[in-house]
Amino acid sequence: MKRIALAGAFAFLLGPASAGPYVSPPTTLGLQPSDPLLHGGYPPQGRLHHYPPKVQALLDLRNEGLRLREADGGTLTEEHRVHLQNKLDAIQAEYPTDASQDDK
Say what the pLDDT of residue 62 is.
Answer: 95
- Backbone CA torsion sign across 37, 42, 43, 48: positive
* 64-96 pLDDT, tens digit each: 999 999 999 999 999 999 999 999 999 999 998
Domain range enclosing 61 = 50-97
Q: Average pLDDT, stretch 39-48?
A: 56
Per the domain annotation, does 89 fall within a domain?
A: yes
Query: What pLDDT is attached to residue 85?
Result: 97
Number of domains in the chain: 1
Helix, strand, coil share of the chain (percent; to 5): 60, 0, 40
- 13 domain-assigned: no
Query: Can you tell me the distance from the alpha carbon of 91 to that of 71, in angstroms, rounded to the nearest whole number?
Result: 23
Q: Is the pLDDT of residue 63 over 90?
A: yes
User: What percentage of the chain has pLDDT greater than the value 70?
Assistant: 46
Q: Does residue 90 fall inside a structural domain? A: yes
Question: For residue 54, is it within any domain?
Answer: yes
pLDDT of residue 98 exceeding 70: no
* Average pLDDT of the residues in 37-62: 74
